[in-house]
Homo-oligomer: A and B are copies of this chain.
């Protein structure tokens, strides 16, 4: 770590006192930046960008240069894991991911395998290039989807409001559901170790569809696999767990060997502080605040920052930045965090 000029986010993740709160944004490398859209337009599609390490590295670094965030996050997609397991996906413009095949029966399970992590070497390559080019300016975050979220896509085959097919499998065929979860978990552990070996300084695990499970089912079905991942990675890099919408499960998440719990903008910070003692918290400004005037962005950002005072904190939005937000608004958020001092 000693080669990093700015290691604020790593120190905050470890619960150390920092001179100011570090800040980055989920989806910071993406469509909010005209520079990203230019790269994207020069390629055949989203997946070409994900699979071309030089270009992925380029868009990963853009927000560091342009927005001044305290960390880069490798440009990739959580769906590279199910693809490496055997389910090919397409990213359909304005509709999202689409899998041709899905897993709903024991027979379907024959279509997938625990992935060979070498199949994802294009991501490790992108990480190496990014770190070379960043030259220690900021840490680089690696990431993966949580097993439950990947399971959702592999069973449902696309996005969904309810993921009722995925939940159906859990109740109708729990044995099959757990088999698939274990395969995803083994694949994810190997993949994240690959990312850390390549140079990722911190790992975030996104359980983006956690909200479709009740608290008990989250505990029974998602959490044990999160635990396998955190246990396997413990000591290799700081880990952030973000289970969007599963706000009654943050205490369970905080009980795992992670450093940081990510918060969406629904959960009151006071509740999260009580539930996650001893862990750093990340978040949680309502992304829609960035649609307001500069003055209002400053007001709401300061209010959010004040709520975390005295608790280790990494500032972020409560969800990914929306593609139509102005880079100037994003900068106002970032600069307000950077200038924030609590006396």
Contacts and interface: CB of A to CB of B under 8 A. Distances in A.
Interface of A: 159, 161-162, 164, 167-168, 170-172, 211, 213-215, 217, 245-248, 265-268, 271, 286-289, 291-293, 296, 318-319, 322, 324
A84 to B, nearest CB: 26
Contact of A248 (B168, B214, B271, B287): B271
A256 B247 CA distance: 24
Given A164-B322, A214-B265, A288 B247 contact: no
A291 B172 contact: yes
B161 A161 contact: yes
A114 B247 CA distance: 37
Contacts of A318: 214
Given A162-B322, A248-B266, A267-B248, A292 B171 contact: yes
B291 A266 contact: no
Contact of A215 (B171, B172, B266, B319): B266
Contacts of A271: 248
A103 B302 CA distance: 31
A288 B248 contact: no
A266 B172 contact: no
A324 B265 CA distance: 33
Given A248-B267, A266-B245, A266-B248, A168 B291 contact: yes
Contacts of A292: 171-172
A286 B214 contact: yes
- Among A171, A293, A318, chain B packs the most CB atoms within 10 A around the CB of A171
Contact of A245 (B162, B245, B287, B288): B245
Contacts of A247: 247-248, 266
Given A247-B248, A248-B268, A291 B322 contact: no
- Which residue, A168, A217, A266, A289, has most C-beta atoms of chain B within 10 A? A266
Nearest to A169: B291
Nearest to A324: B164
A298 to B, nearest CB: 13
B288 A164 contact: yes
Given A164-B322, A167-B288, 9 more contacts: A162-B287, A167-B286, A171-B289, A211-B245, A215-B267, A245-B245, A247-B247, A248-B267, A248-B271
A215 B268 contact: yes
A139 B164 CA distance: 30
B288 A171 contact: yes
Q: Which 6 A-B pairs have the closest CB atoms?
A: A167-B288, A171-B292, A168-B291, A214-B265, A171-B291, A164-B322
Contacts of A167: 286, 288, 291
Contacts of A296: 171
8 contacts: A170-B288, A171-B289, A171-B292, A172-B293, A211-B245, A214-B266, A247-B248, A248-B268
A31 to B, nearest CB: 13
